[in-house]
Amino acid sequence: MNEIRRDYILNRWVIIAKNRAKRPQHFVQKPIGSREKFCFFCPGNEDTTPPEIARVEEKGRWVIRVFPNKYPATEWHEIVVETPIHGEHLGDRSVGHIVQVLKMYSERQQAIEKEPRVKYVSIFKNSGKMAGASLSHSHTQLVGLTMIPPLIKREMRAFDKDCPFCRVWRDEMKGNRVVYDDRYTAAFTPFASRFPFEVWMMPKRHVRTLDEMSKKELNSFATVLKEILSALNSSLNYPPYNFVLHYAPEGKDFHLHLELMPRLSRFAGFEFGTEITINTMPPEVAAEHYKSEIGKG
């Protein structure tokens, strides 16, 4: 039977369509070639981007590069190019490199937050055309906003004496939606997943921002992110996805987490008309799939 489920925290509903449930193989993507003839993000083309803000170098060459978006959504809109290699994905990089990428998100988030009018910095990644990436070269975006976004406010409202995210990860690590569980990081397919293969991951310690994470926590977080992205890439042939990092607005309590949303389904009339989503991949099946794929690595 189909099941209607409510999100742990938000008043957000999903129909888990077991009568239309699909096998993981159904979601395997057809190969796509490189889309663009010229890439603004590749080494050698640095003069085609707005002036550089930051970089990480290895052996005299940049491996991570940050600059303003040419077509900014707000006055504070930056691009973090995560690899010099065109066609390489974030999950293909080493854990050490992913740690440096996470540190760069944190550094830029804090720098943008210093702007007096900025109340929050949205950190998100679009990977693949169907996930909204206009360029295929691996990158993440940071957008400074003059308000705390409504979604973050709704998540914040669930905090009272206890942290809802601490409760959620503890419950989930006992159940059948575990994707990865080590000493520092919990990853699971959420009970009311809106997207096939949706994953949430978070540090187990009640950490508010990336900056508050210890070296070991960051290392674990990068390892888990790499494992999950690699499992998706190898088993579903590089599906399009978004991820968002949700962290504490300045001075507020929160629990840092990353929400990863593979874009293998489309919102249609029902979703737009009701704000209820239909998901044809039960999160319990998705978790099994991740676990078997991660075991292979």
Q: In this complex, which beta carbon is closest to Zn ion, that of residue 36 or of residue 115? A: 36
| Tokens, residue 156 | 């914040």
Residue 125 CB, nearest distance to Zn ion (Å)? 14
Minimum Å gap between C-beta 154 and Zn ion is: 9
Nearer to Zn ion, 130 or 166 (CB): 166
Residues touching Zn ion, count (CB under 5 A): 11
Q: Which residue has the tokens 């010229």?
A: 38
Nearer to Zn ion, 52 or 75 (CB): 52
Choose between 226 and 255: whose C-beta lies nearer to Zn ion.
255
What lies within 8 Å, CB to CB, of 245 at 6+ separation is: 105, 123, 124, 210, 256, 257, 258
Least spacing, CB of residue 207 vs Zn ion, in Å = 8
Q: Which of residues 39, 101, 123, 281 is near Zn ion by CB under 5 A? A: 39
Binding window for Zn ion (CB under 5 A); candidates: 72-80, 186-194, 230-238, 241-249: 241-249
Q: Among residues 17, 21, 42, 54, which is the contact residue for Zn ion, using CB under 5 A?
A: 42
CB of 28 to Zn ion, least distance (A): 25
Candidates 154, 205, 206, 252: give the one binding Zn ion (CB under 5 A).
Answer: 206
**What is the residue-wise DSSP string for the chain?**
--EEEE-SSSS-EEEE-GGG---GGGGPPPP-----SS-TTSTT-GGGSSPP-EEEEETTEEEEEEEE-SS-SSSSEEEEE--SSTT--GGGS-HHHHHHHHHHHHHHHHHHHTSTT--EEEEEEEESGGGT-SS-S-EEEEEEESS--HHHHHHHHT-SSS-HHHHHHHHHTTTT-EEEE-SSEEEE--TT-SSTT-EEEEESS---SGGG--HHHHHHHHHHHHHHHHHHHHHHTS--EEEEEE-PPTT-----EEEEEE--S---HHHHHHSEEEESS-HHHHHHHHHHHHHH-
197 binds Zn ion (CB under 5 A): no
Phi then psi dihedrals of residue 231, to 5 deg: -65, -45
Give the range of 78-86, 171-179, 216-224, 287-295 binding Zn ion by CB under 5 A: 78-86
Interface stretch with Zn ion, choices 102-110, 211-219, 222-230, 238-246 (CB under 5 A): 238-246
- Residues 132-191 within binding reach of Zn ion (CB under 5 A): 137, 163, 165-166
Q: Which residues pair with 22 in a beta bridge?
A: none
| Nearest distance, CB of residue 85 and Zn ion, angstroms | 8
Choose the stretch contacting Zn ion; rule: CB under 5 A; options: 184-192, 213-221, 245-253, 260-268: 245-253
Supply the minimum distance, in Å, between the C-beta of residue 209 and Zn ion. Answer: 12
User: Which residue, 24 or 91, is less far from Zn ion as judged by CB?
Assistant: 91
Question: Which residues of this chain interact with Zn ion, rule CB under 5 A?
Answer: 39, 41-42, 86, 137, 163, 165-166, 206, 246, 255
